[in-house]
Structure 1
């Protein structure tokens, strides 16, 4: 029996090791590479030619959604399954738009995860049912690309002047985008707007 070759990408070594151990118990699954950051994903895919890459969303260097798009461009035969702690509706939508074939949360039972890998490998789409419902209810992000960038820059509490310098915008423009984002997220201030947008996976 030919085994399905897997690549695991997760910045938490313990989680990566546990996933590897669990999946390796399956006779038809073989973990051929493990990496700890998003920037390592594509080089590992090109070196090991996995059938399925299991990617976390939040990783250093490059997040799992951006890495998904890069994997699909560099190695179209490699399917991507997002396995994440962060079951946010916006993440699901963005991951599928980037070319992921599946999206499951990390507390998925081992047998179900193995089954998800097999189904993705067979060309099917696998999505956590609760998340799929939440995603439909949450809808698309109401933020424009520029509003999203400004909120991302505001995440660390930077001042308007710092955000403006970082994004090469005028302070007035930054204030306008922040104001629009606060309105669209029904927040009372920019900190709350960041939390709402983050919670929905829009950032």
Structure 2
């Protein structure tokens, strides 16, 4: 039998402890600034929420070297390739702090995981708006100065992580994403297992929202 990856073993441990986990990843292409990474680290530490943060190896040099010690037992930083879908579908994962890349949105929808949107570049800002305002399956992080491409502060990160994982706003978007997931499963069965089918579903969901306004 092949041994499970260490990151899955850690999630299994959290499942045994019944401690819901926030998955954090900003994708392979989006580049968060050093300042932004530090603010995220501080925010995650202050939130007191269990989390798994997947980073690029070079980003480890930016984060406080004492970070691992500060979050020991509650958080895990992973600097290697992971199977994102396997993580999102894990029973103990109940939130996704994401840059809102298109594939990440599709995967979170298919896994039924609510999103905490922190777009970093280009179309990710439009994707975040769709996730939060049109589909209603996520909450949004806002920069200190409310400028779309500004830095999101640690206080905002901590506050919204807690809201997503434990607050009323989080409960609402988790309920909504479960509804969307059921529609997604139906669409995948009818149209075949493809992301293009799921993308069409997103168009449908947004269309329903607009028609109800």
Q: TM-score, with normalisation over the residues of structure 1?
A: 0.43
Higher relative contact order (CA 8 A, sep 6+): 2
* Higher radius of gyration, 1 or 2: 1
Q: TM-score, with normalisation over the residues of structure 2?
A: 0.42
